[in-house]
């Protein structure tokens, strides 16, 4: 049995955030309720902010993806 810690639970969720509470409970040897309670606590403490997906953009036809950040004062913006 693996001891359930926040770090270990978060590591498991980082690998696959869609894993069910039942799967996680079996992994850690605890009840489903214990997993649900721990995840809700991590969410309420804003440690877990959201659950997300990773998309293979090449399979959607995108060759490059870029994130651009701009800093500009409102008076310099052109509409």
pLDDT digits over 11-66, tens only?
999 999 999 999 999 999 999 999 999 999 999 999 999 998 888 888 998 887 68
* 68 in any annotated domain: no
- Contact assessment for residue 43 and residue 17, using Cβ atoms and an 8 Å cutoff: no
* 13 in any annotated domain: yes
* 16 in any annotated domain: yes
* 23 in any annotated domain: yes
pLDDT value at residue 55: 86
pLDDT value at residue 3: 60
pLDDT value at residue 1: 46
* 72 in any annotated domain: no
Instruction: State the total domains in the chain.
Output: 1
CATH number at residue 19: 1.10.10.10
* 15 in any annotated domain: yes
Instruction: State pTM to two decimals.
Output: 0.66
Q: Could you list the residue range(s) of the whole structural domain that residue 16 is in?
A: 6-63
In this structure, the number of other CB atoms found within 10 A of the CB of residue 5 comes to: 11
The phi, psi pair for 24, rounded to 5°, reads: -65, -40
Is the confidence at residue 79, as pLDDT, over 70?
no
């Amino acid at each position: 049995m693996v001891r359930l810690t926040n770090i270990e639970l978060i590591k498991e969720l980082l690998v696959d955030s869609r894993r069910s509470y039942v799967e996680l409970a079996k992994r850690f040897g605890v009840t489903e309720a214990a997993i649900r309670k721990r995840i809700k606590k991590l969410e309420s403490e804003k440690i877990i902010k959201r659950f997300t997906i990773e998309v293979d953009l090449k399979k959607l036809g995108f060759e490059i993806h870029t994130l651009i950040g701009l800093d500009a004062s409102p008076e310099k913006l052109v509409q």
